[in-house]
């Protein structure tokens, strides 16, 4: 079953189109979560646990993770792994570059981080939809 069919199956089973955004602002994490070694990751896990039965996708906003440097990337990767294979994972990256740069974004988000989809900012035209994006994510759709 390809990703689109998998998503449609979940939409029908849950009777839901719900996509949960994980725009996790480290400065707004509840105080009780600061006892954990990674409060942002713990916050994400609790949100995921509370919504897993109702949603079909999760969409972490990468700006919140990138702003934390390498620790943020580690938290993002752990969050994606925690979501697991049963939900669509969308990198809310809003990337928009051309050529080799778009290829590198696709490689990072799909291969290295395990996302299923990515948001883009199409201001630079069709070239931002790199061949890498299409060869990885649309094969068989």
Per-residue pLDDT tens digits for 38-93: 999 999 999 999 999 999 999 999 999 999 999 999 999 999 999 999 999 999 98
Give, in order, the Cα–Cα distances in Å from 112 to each of 73, 109, 122. Answer: 11, 6, 23
Q: Which long-range contacts (CB under 8 A, 24 or more apart) does 22-26 make?
A: 22/47, 22/58, 22/59, 22/60, 22/61, 22/64, 22/79, 23/60, 23/61, 23/64, 23/92, 24/60, 24/61, 24/64, 24/65, 25/64, 26/64, 26/67, 26/68
Q: Please identify, in words, the CATH class of the domain defined by 3-25+33-137.
A: alpha beta
The pLDDT tens digits for 6-24 are: 889 989 999 999 999 999 9
From the list 89, 94, 107, 137, the catalytic residue is 94
In b/e form, how buried is each residue of 24-37, taking b as 16+ CB within 10 angstroms? beeeebeeeeeeee
Confidence check: pLDDT of 138 > 50: no
> What's the pTM?
0.80
End-to-end CA distance of the chain: 10
- 94 carries an active-site annotation: yes
Supply the pLDDT for residue 13.
92
Supply the pLDDT for residue 125.
59
Supply the pLDDT for residue 140.
40
């Amino acid at each position: 079953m390809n990703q689109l069919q998998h998503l449609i199956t979940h939409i029908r089973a849950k009777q839901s189109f719900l996509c949960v955004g994980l725009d996790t602002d480290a400065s707004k994490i509840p105080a009780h979560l600061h006892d954990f070694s990674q409060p942002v990751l713990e916050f994400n896990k609790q949100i995921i646990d509370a919504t897993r039965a109702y949603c079909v996708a999760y969409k972490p906003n990468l700006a919140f993770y990138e702003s934390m440097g390498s620790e943020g990337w580690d938290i993002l990767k752990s969050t994606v792994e925690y979501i697991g294979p049963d939900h669509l994972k969308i990198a809310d990256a809003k990337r928009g570059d051309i050529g080799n740069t778009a290829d590198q974004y696709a490689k990072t988000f799909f291969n290295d981080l395990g996302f299923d989809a990515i948001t883009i900012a199409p201001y630079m035209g069709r070239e931002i939809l790199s061949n890498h994006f299409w060869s990885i994510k649309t094969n068989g759709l």
